[in-house]
Amino acid sequence: MALRDIHVDDDPVLRKKSRRVDQINARVLTLLDDMMETLRHQDGVGLAAPQVGVLRRAVVIDTGEDVLEMINPEIVEQEGEETGKEGCLSLPGLLGVVPRPARVLARYTDRDGGQREVEGEGLLARAICHEVDHLNGILFTDRAVEMVEPEEDEDEGE
């Protein structure tokens, strides 16, 4: 496993649509391993392949309760709406208020080629939506209804 560089700010790769993973091979498995190591090193919640410069439909998520490696994820159901704060490893220093579904059902392929479904609420639903957006070249700032200064957010927590 290795740490990968995270592409940030105006890097054009962040705005491109990722291609499906057609075959799970050693390169894809290494990508998933490296992404998870990079995510944990950065103390993040989710990371999509475009954020490490790979235009493939793969994401990793670690909410502290749920750990997922998702290949070709699709959101197949969503309901409700919750508005909450989001940041992104590719947009350091930015924080926005973003509406997302309160619950999602996503289908994906796991690292062994198995077809899986996961239902997520709260943080997991938000993370799945955020990472699937990355695969489509969409950043949280595109969906934010308000941007918040990180210093303001720290003051609220006191």
Ordered per-residue pLDDT tens for the chain, 158 residues: 899 999 999 999 999 999 999 999 999 999 999 999 999 999 999 999 999 999 999 999 999 999 999 999 999 999 999 999 999 999 999 999 999 999 999 999 999 999 999 999 999 999 999 999 999 999 999 999 999 987 655 544 43
Report DSSP letters for 19-36, one per residue.
Answer: BP-----HHHHHHHHHHH
Pick the closest to residue 99 from 111, 89, 87, 85 (CA basis).
85
- Distance from C-alpha of 126 to C-alpha of 85, rounded to nearest angstrom: 10
Nearest partner of 112 among 71, 74, 142, judged by Cα: 71
Give me the domains of the chain, ranges plus CATH numbers: 12-156 (3.90.45.10)
Write out the catalytic residue numbers. 131
pTM to 2 decimal places:
0.93
